[in-house]
Amino acid sequence: MRNPEPTPDIATRLETACLPIMEEWLGDIEALGLEDLKAVPEENLRIWAFMLVRRVVEFVAREMGAEVRLDGGREDFKQLFFKSACLVVDAIDSQVAYTAGRSIRVAEYAGRLASMKGLTDEEIHDIEYAARIHNLGLVNSSQRIFRMPRRLSPAELSMARNHSQVGADIMRPIEFLAEIVPMVRCHHAHWDGSGFPPGLEGEQIPIGARIIHLADAYEAMCSERPHRPAMSRDEALNEIQKQSKKQFDPGLVAIAHVLT
Structure confidence at residue 84 (pLDDT): 76
- Over residues 167-182, the mean pLDDT reads 87
pLDDT over 50 (residue 219): yes
Structure confidence at residue 188 (pLDDT): 94
Structure confidence at residue 79 (pLDDT): 77
Structure confidence at residue 51 (pLDDT): 61
Q: What are phi and psi of 196, to 5 degrees?
A: -125, 130
- Over residues 208-228, the mean pLDDT reads 94
Distance CA(66)–CA(60), nearest Å, equals 10
Please state which of the ranges 14-23, 83-92, 106-115 shows the lowest mean pLDDT: 14-23
Task: Pick 53 or 218 by higher pLDDT.
Answer: 218
- Rounded to 5 degrees, what angle do the CA atoms 116, 111, 196 make? 100
pTM of the model: 0.73
Alpha helices by DSSP H, listed for the chain, are 8-32, 42-65, 73-93, 102-116, 121-132, 142-146, 154-160, 163-171, 181-185, 207-221, 233-242, 250-253
Structural domain 8-258, CATH architecture: Orthogonal Bundle (1.10)
Structure confidence at residue 83 (pLDDT): 79
Structure confidence at residue 172 (pLDDT): 83
Q: Bridge partners of 228?
A: 225
Percent of the chain whose pLDDT exceeds 90: 40
DSSP reduced 3-state for 119: coil
pLDDT over 60 (residue 8): no
- Mean pLDDT of all residues in the chain? 78
Tell me: the pLDDT tens digits for 14-26?
A: 555 555 555 555 5
* Local confidence band at 68 (pLDDT 50, 70, 90 cut-offs): very low
250 near 242, Cβ under 8 Å?
no
CB neighbour class for 134 (10 Å; exposed up to 12, middle 13-18, buried from 19)? buried
Distance CA(209)–CA(201), nearest Å, equals 11
Residues ≥6 apart with Cβ < 8 Å to 145 = 152, 156, 159, 160
Tell me: the pLDDT tens digits for 226-252?
A: 778 999 999 999 999 999 999 999 999
pLDDT over 70 (residue 127): yes
Distance CA(159)–CA(204), nearest Å, equals 22
Tell me: the pLDDT tens digits for 26-64?
A: 555 555 554 555 555 655 655 555 566 666 666 655 655
